[in-house]
Amino acid sequence: MGTLAYENRIELAQGTENNGLAGMVAALILQNLNDKPQKRDDFAKLRGRVAIVAEDARVAMTLDFAGNMLTLHDGIVGVPDVTVRANSDDIIQLSLVELTQRFALPNLRGEAMKQVMHKSHTGQIRVFGALANLAMVLRLTRLLSVN
């Protein structure tokens, strides 16, 4: 990777000024990249679009990953590879998912992960396109996790 700071690799597109979700996700990713160097490889390898919809807050955003660069858009832009739909609390829950020490995989025994699995079963958290984009979802989970 080049020497460009992560602050300059994450861009909020025009129109996101009032989209708090986009601002929060951008801040979360930036702070994770600065705090946890082990997440940088995932950021470098992520390519494609992910839409996140906070249904109760009626806010949607799109992350457009382009290998070490990220643009966040207001609303759903283009055709997302993966779409996450959940309430705001559950979106936060996704970022609390515990990771295993080895390989940094989601820890199925973790409390937050158990809740995410339960809510996925009951339809409170819906992830569209996950099966076709497993590697992407895994990298995204690691990137967004505060753990």
Partner 1 sequence: MEHAFPSQPWAKAYEAAINGNPSYVTAGKDWTHGAVAMVVKADLSIDIAQDMAVVVDVNAGHCRAATYMPAEEARKTAPFVIEGPYDNWKKLIVENLDPIKTLMQGKLKLTKGHLPTIIRYVESSKQLLASAQNVATRFLR
- Which positions touch partner 1 (CB under 8 A)? 17-21, 23-24, 27-28, 31-32, 35, 54, 56-59, 88-89, 91-92, 95-96, 146
Check residue 67 and report its DSSP letter. Answer: S
Please identify, using beta-carbon distances, which residue of 19 and 133 lies nearer to partner 1: 19
- Least distance between partner 1 and beta carbon 58 (Å): 8
- Least distance between partner 1 and beta carbon 33 (Å): 11
Q: What does the block give as tokens for 71?
A: 């643009």
**Of 59, 64, 110, nearest to 85 (Cα)?**
59
- Least distance between partner 1 and beta carbon 139 (Å): 18
Q: What does the block give as tokens for 139?
A: 């990298």
Please identify, using beta-carbon distances, which residue of 133 and 145 lies nearer to partner 1: 145
Please identify, using beta-carbon distances, which residue of 59 and 113 lies nearer to partner 1: 59
Residue entry with tokens 């409390």? 111
Length of the chain: 147
**Residue 61: what residue type?**
M
Residue entry with tokens 């973790």? 110
Please identify, using beta-carbon distances, which residue of 47 and 55 lies nearer to partner 1: 55
